[in-house]
Amino acid sequence: MNEQYKKTYPISWEQLHRDSKALAWRLLGHDYFKGIIAITRGGMVPAAIIARELDIHLVDTICISSYDWKDKKGDAEMLKQFDGNGEGWLLIDDLVDTGRTAKIVREMVPQAHFATVYAKPAGRPLVDTYITEVSQDTWILFPWDTESTFVTPIAGRER
């Protein structure tokens, strides 16, 4: 997490599941989707949940690397593209942050319906559907980036 983030927002596996299922509910009213395109890696877990809830069995990926574990990288690296303009497809990611990855993917599959579980103000205009808006200065701690550890009780920290 770098200095531009002033807050953290930890997401549990249960919350991610609930929020992904809520996104599936919101997408139910849209046209039929012939398949899902998950943006790796963050979009894979929400895509699996949404595929189950919407009874979609065709799942593909766009593999793009624009973050490392500590910070944003320079240029996004395209590892695997999608063949086609995305018409009839549902594009899923966990989060739209600055919109940098979203712009690249939008250009690649402009006809896909783009949905994310979480959206920040800078990237929000690039997605068609999302569930939860989070402030731009918040770092989201996804469950795959964290683990449970012992924390010293508050009273023990002052000694």
Q: Which residues form the catalytic set?
A: 93-94, 97
Residue entry with tokens 């299922």:
21
- Reading phi first (left if > 0) and then psi (alpha if -120 to 50, else beta), residue 110 is in alpha
Secondary structure of residue 153 in the 3-state scheme: coil
User: How many angstroms separate the Cα of 127 from the Cα of each of 121, 122, 148, 157?
Assistant: 11, 11, 32, 44
Q: Are 70 and 93 in contact (CB under 8 A)?
A: no
Q: Are 150 and 18 in contact (CB under 8 A)?
A: no
- DSSP bridge pairs for 77: 65
Give the count of alpha carbons within 13 A of 90, CB side only: 31
